[in-house]
Amino acid sequence: MVKPQSFGGSEYNAWRRKTQFGLKSHQIFYTVLSNFSDTTEDISESQWLSDEDYCRDYLMNCLSDRLADTYSKFKAAKEIWDNLDAQFRKDDELSKSHVVDKFLNFKFREDMEITPQVIDLENLRSKINNENIGVTDIFLVGAIIYKLPAAWHSFKTKLYWKTGQMGLDELKRYIRIEDKNLARHNLELVKQQQSAANAVTQPEKFSKQTKSPKSEPPKLEVKKTIDKKKKKRKTKCYNCGKWGHWAADCRLPKKPNADTPQKDAHMLVGKPEPHNFIAMMTDGKTSASGNILTLKYVKFVPFLNKNLISISLLDKAGLCTFFMNSRVTLSVNSAYFGCTFLIDSCIG
């Protein structure tokens, strides 16, 4: 016979029922009901003393170490049983008066599976029913859905949209399926994080220095710096024409090389006439209409791969630009003037 779990001060009535069942199975429960002089059992005194001693040892073995030390002063099993009832049975009945508060304040934890917590809520419902406070399955289903954590918001919304009444067993099945899906999803996230954390990047390879500058004598370094300063003073910049720095270090805009062919570029100024319009590129490309737009006073950039034009300046000049389906349409005073197409996000 397996003895019940050691009693430590909580859930006394449940422990009492299990212990009473164990004493009855050993046929010694009668020793805690009365003394030998008051017993109605047809048994000898020596047999009663033997059973009473065995019952006392059984009760002490079912108590925690703290309570066993407290109740070891009692010599009879009936004294231990009566004092346990006096101390803990009233406290357990008082806690039952607050079981409704426990049910209403029950909250599901997000860091645990929901299915075991639903079972805990069902146990609270059973305790309420034992107090003759009826909690129906419909009420319990609504309470479970309401108490689901915030991470289950989409799941709750789907349940609220159901028109038919859902049973308790059906809801528990849905929750078990969702628990498994969330556990699988969290496991995949953990694997992704571990793989990202374990990724090893190749170290950069640096070229070996043949000679460390610290190995040179300090006097030679001073001479070298003096030579550089003298050289710097005698150097003339080919970009700005000033002395004291190289052309590569010049902060002014770079001048185009003499070998680079210069192109004419213009920017539109003022309100042009319609016959002066649409060449979007300075190299002579025109729109499908064949009309040409002359651009005046454009900054020329030798190494620019694409020609740029300001839409806002075209708008100020009275030209309306319209983009649709990779097509650019131009109009002047609401009259169609010409069109072109976008090629690689640029106007062709």
The pLDDT tens digits for 200-244 are 544 555 555 555 555 555 554 444 454 555 555 567 888 888 888
User: Token pair of 167, please?
Assistant: 């049973």
Q: Residue 12: pLDDT above 60?
A: yes
User: Token pair of 11, please?
Assistant: 């859930």
Which of 104-108, 234-238, 294-298 has the highest average model confidence (pLDDT)? 104-108
Q: Is the dihedral of CA 149, 152, 156, 159 positive or negative?
A: negative
pLDDT > 90: percent of the chain: 9
Compute φ and ψ for 236, nearest 5 degrees.
Answer: -115, 135
pLDDT, mean over the chain: 75
The pLDDT-based confidence of 276 (bands split at 50, 70, 90) is very low
Q: Dump pLDDT digits (tens) for 130-166.
A: 777 788 888 999 999 999 988 888 888 888 888 778 8
Which residues does 90 contact at the CB level (< 8 Å), separation at least 6? none
Q: What is the pTM of this model?
A: 0.34
Q: Residue 254: pLDDT above 70?
A: yes
Cα distances (Å, whole numbers) of residue 118 to 14, 32, 75, 105, 171: 20, 38, 44, 14, 10
**Cα–Cα distance for residue pair 59/3, rounded to 1 Å:** 10
Q: 284 or 193: which carries more pLDDT confidence?
A: 193
Strand order in the sheet with 319-324: 319-324, 327-332, 335-343, 346-347
Q: What is the pLDDT of residue 50?
A: 92
Helix (H), strand (E), coil (C) string for the chain: CCCCCCECCCCHHHHHHHHHHHHHHCCCHHHHCCCCCCCCCCCCHHHHHHHHHHHHHHHHHCECHHHHHHHCCCCCHHHHHHHHHHHHHHHHHHHHCCHHHHHHCCCCCCCCCHHHHHHHHHHHHHHHHHCCCCCCHHHHHHHHHHHCCHHHHHHHHHHHCCCCCCCHHHHHHHHHHHHHHHHHHHHHHHHHHHHHHCCCCCCCCCCCCCCCHHHCCHHHHHHHHHHHHHHHHHCECCCCCCECCCHHHCCCCCCCCCCCCCCCCCCCCCCCCHHHECCCCCCCCCCCCCCCECCCCCCCCCCCCCCCCCHHHHHHCCEEEEEECCEEEEEECCEEEEEEEEECCEEC
Residue 144's identity, in one-letter code, is I
Dihedral angle at the C-alpha atoms of 29, 32, 33, 39, nearest 10 degrees? 90
CA R_g for the chain: 47
Q: Residue 104: pLDDT above 90?
A: no
Burial classification of residue 212, based on how many CB atoms lie within 10 Å of its CB (0-12 exposed, 13-18 middle, 19 or more buried) = exposed
**Cα–Cα distance for residue pair 167/139, rounded to 1 Å:** 10
State mean pLDDT over 17-42: 87
**Would you tell me how many other CB atoms lie within 10 Å of the CB of residue 298?**
17
State mean pLDDT over 160-178: 86
Compute φ and ψ for 8, nearest 5 degrees.
Answer: -115, 0
User: Token pair of 208, please?
Assistant: 């070996």
**Cα–Cα distance for residue pair 152/175, rounded to 1 Å:** 10
